[in-house]
A and B are shown apart, each in its own frame.
Chain A
Amino acid sequence: MIKIEQLHKSYPIGKDSLHVLKGIDLHIKEGEFVSIMGSSGSGKSTLLNIVGLLDVHDEGNYYLNGQLIKDMNEKKAAQLRNKFLGFVFQSFNLISYKTALENVALPLYYKGINRKERLKIALDYLDQVELKDWANHLPNELSGGQKQRVAIARALVTKPKVVLADEPTGALDSTTTDSVMDLLKDINDKGMTVFVITHEEEVAAQTKRIVRLKDGVIISDELTKAAKAV
């Protein structure tokens, strides 16, 4: 599903440049539940942005669903994001003046699905995250956990191949963290590839494979107990 070979990325800072990713090799197969761990500055967010087509790499190859990602223009990238990827952010990133339902329906709008159909599908997904009753509430009327569940529903609504979650539990307490992780596990059980970035050991432990990053290189890549238990 995701295949990365010798990926390099550096950011220019003034005259110097900061070498963030120093040759990453990573292969994630369809249906995997992977977490990327590392302290801040280890390059994990950069990796996710590149995988999520929000940023471009300097060197190396990146294949998404067997397709080589190279010289992407914005339009192409937007279409691929819409088709293959679902995003979950640490700060939820819901649009504040749209209701939960409209937020979930938004990716379908960019897919060109008509409004009636869109809202029907969105409501279905809100039901899956048990927020059907909150469909017409604005984000600021929801709790953090609820917001994240809306965000997850939004990530799933286009039936993506991969769900990319950037610190999905970073802004949540332990109880809601568990419920969000359960949700991600459910998604994975249904066959979707889930790619989580976190720095919390407990969260990582609930995934099936942990990749540890340090200073832009992978220092370990191992299956967790959860995976072995299956």
Chain B
Amino acid sequence: MKFLFDSDTWQEIYGSIRKNKVRTAITIIGVLWGIFLLVVLLGAARGMENGFNKLFGNFATNSVFVWTQSTDTPFKGFQEGRRFKLTMNDIAVLNSEYSEEIKLLAPRNQTSNLIIHDFKSGDFRVSGDYPVLDQIQKKSLLYGRFLNENDILSTAKVAVISEDMYKQLFDKDVMPIGQYIKINSINYKVIGVYKPSNTIDFDGDCAYIPFTTFRKVYNTANKVDWMMITANEGTDIEQMEKDVLLTLKGLHKVHPEDERAFGSVNLGKEIGKITGFITGMQFLTWFVGIATLIAGVFAIGNILLITVKERTKEIGIRRALGATPKSIRQQIILESVFLTTIAGMLGIIFGSFVLFIIDSAFGQGEDAALINPTVNIPIILIAFATLIVLGTLIGLIPAHMATVVKPIEALREE
């Protein structure tokens, strides 16, 4: 290993590289391109992953949504195609039976209504909700507050409206809090304005009123349109989804094998699909990147092989002057490693620079497609180490070629 730290070794390499500037540059480009692609693609994939994460950002990702449809199997005297609704009783049963698994459970009733304020009006969705909704689907409030337990208990006629509704129903610069809006001829006091999330959202522009108020006003008795359930940490959410559905089937006299009676979406599973897609993309990135790197390293090997042929005579002279085959080999391998290393460094620098540009161009702001496109330092180090190993291995071929030619043949006059 001593030869690595010998300034003479490097002097020799510098000499031979300086002599072949053009081929050195061309050689470097292959590997540079490979590692550049790897860095940029990995960074972009990371940016995309960050983008997806942000998309699901203020939604509890371990959520299951359940609603009712119509049965597809006759059961216990009921005919096929029966329609039914979830009830508050279901909620109570689920809450007591799955107290360990269920973290939050939000029963919801929704409808659409004309909403009027002074002379302005608009058709919007109206949703009867419990305060717990704010924990499942975080609301960022511009003014005021979200529904609270008191509103539920007192069946208060209060509403939390979206920013767009506020803009549509109120004049500019009018403070909406404390003002009244009219839904279905009933006055509701506005207690909060929220900013709709620009990520996934099931409600759109929606006026949230207390669940109990909704029940009273729309006369829904103990019916529930649908519910959101989030699981405690460590709960197998798919299993929980199955169990909950089975319990509900029991409560509603639905055949246990009935596929249509209940509709459900497991957000965790859906997100899993997307993360799977991202993982696949990262794998592809690695594959393409490494393959390009290998191609680049082969190009270096190839060019070194050509130069070895060109330098046959020089190598012959060196050997006549006392160079051992080992010293010739060392020099050529080191040249290969040196070139790959320099190329790798340049590739990483250029790649990071392009990522920086991508980040400034697309990576910031509300609707960013790629957020913080970055590559981990350990990944770079691994790629770099791979490069050095490949450089050494590929250098062995021209190094071997350089020494199989006998000095006498190398020196023979042309």
Residues on A close to B: CB < 8 A? 49, 52, 54-55, 74-75, 78-79, 81-83, 87, 89-91, 93-98, 102, 106-107, 109-111, 114-115, 154, 158
Q: Is the interface of B mostly helix, strand, loop or mixed?
A: helix
Cross-chain contact A110 with B322 (CB below 8 angstroms): yes
Q: Can you list the 5 inter-chain pairs with the closest CB atoms, starting with the nearest? A: A82-B322, A110-B322, A97-B19, A54-B408, A107-B321
Whether, in the assembled complex, B319 has its beta carbon less than 8 Å from a beta carbon of chain A, the answer is: yes
Interface residues as binary, B4-16 with A (CB distance below 8 Å gives 1, 0 otherwise): 0001100110011
Which residues of chain A have C-beta atoms less than 8 A from B322's C-beta?
78-79, 81-83, 107, 110-111, 158
Inter-subunit contact A81/B325 (CB<8 Å):
no
| CB of A74, distance to nearest CB on chain B (Å) | 5
B310 to chain A, nearest CB (A): 11
Chain A nearest CB, measured from B2 CB (Å) = 10
Chain B residues in the interface with A (C-beta under 8 A): 7-8, 11-12, 15-16, 18-19, 313-314, 316-327, 403, 406-408, 411, 413
CA–CA, A75 and B323, complex, Å: 8
Contacts of A55 in B (CB 8 A): 406, 408
Query: Other CB < 8 Å A-B pairs besides A74-B319, A90-B413, A107-B322, 4 of them?
Result: A49-B408, A82-B322, A98-B15, A110-B322
Q: Say yes or no: A78 contacts B325, CB within 8 Å.
A: yes
Whether A97 and B324, one on each chain, are in contact in the complex, defined by CB atoms closer than 8 angstroms, is no
Contact A110–B318 (Cβ < 8 Å): yes
Expressed in whole angstroms, the Cα–Cα distance for A82 and B316 within the complex equals 13
Contact among B18, B324, B407 with A54 in the assembled complex (CB-CB below 8 Å): B407
Which residue among B317, B322, B327, B406 has the maximum number of chain A CB atoms within 10 Å of its CB? B322
Task: Flag if B19 contacts A110 (CB, 8 Å).
Answer: no
Contacts of B408 in A (CB 8 A): 49, 54-55
Distance of A199 Cα from B294 Cα, bound (Å): 54
Cβ contacts under 8 Å, A96 to chain B: 19, 314
CB of A89 within 8 A of CB of B411, answer yes
Which residues from A are CB-within-8-Å of B12?
109
29 CB < 8 A contacts A-B: A54-B408, A55-B406, A74-B319, A75-B324, A75-B325, A79-B322, A79-B324, A81-B319, A81-B320, A81-B322, A82-B322, A87-B320, A89-B411, A93-B313, A93-B317, A94-B317, A95-B314, A95-B317, A96-B314, A97-B15, A97-B19, A107-B321, A107-B322, A109-B12, A110-B318, A110-B321, A110-B322, A114-B8, A115-B8
Contact indicator A74/B321 (Cβ below 8 Å): no
Instruction: Evaluate contact between A78 and B19: CB separation under 8 angstroms.
Output: no
